[in-house]
Amino acid sequence: MLALAPMNPAPNLVLVGPMGAGKSSIGRRLAERFGLAFFDVDQCIIDRVGASIPTIFEYAGEAGFREHERLVLADLLAGEKQLISTGGGSVLHPDNRRLIRERGFVVYLKVGVDAQLKRIGNDKNRPLLQRDDRRQALQDLTALRDPLYREVADLLFDTDHYTIAEIMAELCSRLSTQWQCHRTAP
Ligand code: S3P
């Protein structure tokens, strides 16, 4: 684990990182551990639109999906005492990156392409992976997005060789010393 910033007393914990990094499963556990409300941005989009992610991509395109993502993220980040698990492409929009940094202590969960293929290689719910050259697609996404995840991150954790229990133990210990939930409203 690499500490990227000394201290950021933010009102929310935010998980960023690529598909298959474990943002939702780790996010749920961290939320419970730190007494935060858990929100998964993809699930919030599904609830708001009333359609699955593949259906949104099919009818509104990726641009339409990104707009829903931007609105959901802005709504969530206005609140506090939340663990927000973002979708892998949330960092693409500069407004999202600015808000994520302003309103969150940000953990970048990193994962290599081999582990991604093992974890989500056959997933049908991720439109960007519905192609034959999945390895290449994931490599291209990593090249584009890794600098953006790093730009917003307070902490980086490479999940490749660790179990969820090990990741949890390390993150809990780091977060207890580096993050104090800072409330902005009474
Ligand atoms: C996406 C990641 C997905 C979901 C959508 C697009 C991406 O979320 O938002 O399929 O652009 O990487 P997860 O990172 O939770 O899989």
| Cβ neighbours around 143 below 10 Å, total | 9
* Distance separating alpha carbons of residues 26 and 101, to the nearest angstrom: 20
**pLDDT at site 101:** 96
186 pLDDT band (50/70/90 cuts)? Answer: very low
Q: Evaluate: CB of 53 within 6 angstroms of ligand 1.
A: yes
Pocket-testing residue among 128, 131, 144, ligand 1, by greatest number of atoms within 8 A of Cβ: 128
**Cα 56 to ligand 1 centroid, rounded to whole Å:** 12
Phi, psi of 63 (to 5 degrees): -60, -40
pLDDT tens digits, one per residue of 19-35:
999 999 999 999 999 99
Domains in the chain, CATH or no CATH each: 2-178 (3.40.50.300)
pLDDT tens digits, one per residue of 129-152:
999 999 999 999 999 999 999 999
179 pLDDT band (50/70/90 cuts)? Answer: confident
Ligand 1, atom nearest to 41 Cα: 9
CB 183 within 8 A of CB 81: yes
Phi, psi of 81 (to 5 degrees): 60, 40
Q: Evaluate: CB of 127 within 6 angstroms of ligand 1.
A: yes
Alpha helix ranges (H) inside 15-163: 23-34, 41-49, 53-77, 94-103, 113-120, 134-152
Report helix, strand or coil for 108. strand
In this predicted structure, the answer to whether residue 12 has a pLDDT above a threshold of 90 is yes
* Bridging pattern class, strands 155-158 and 104-110: parallel
**pLDDT at site 180:** 79
pTM attached to this predicted model:
0.94
* Distance separating alpha carbons of residues 104 and 175, to the nearest angstrom: 13
Q: Evaluate: CB of 89 within 6 angstroms of ligand 1.
A: yes
**pLDDT at site 45:** 98
Ligand 1, atom nearest to 120 Cα: 16
**pLDDT at site 121:** 82
**Cα 185 to ligand 1 centroid, rounded to whole Å:** 31
In this predicted structure, the answer to whether residue 3 has a pLDDT above a threshold of 90 is no
pLDDT tens digits, one per residue of 37-88:
999 999 999 999 999 999 999 999 999 999 999 999 999 999 999 999 999 9
Q: Evaluate: CB of 88 within 6 angstroms of ligand 1.
A: yes
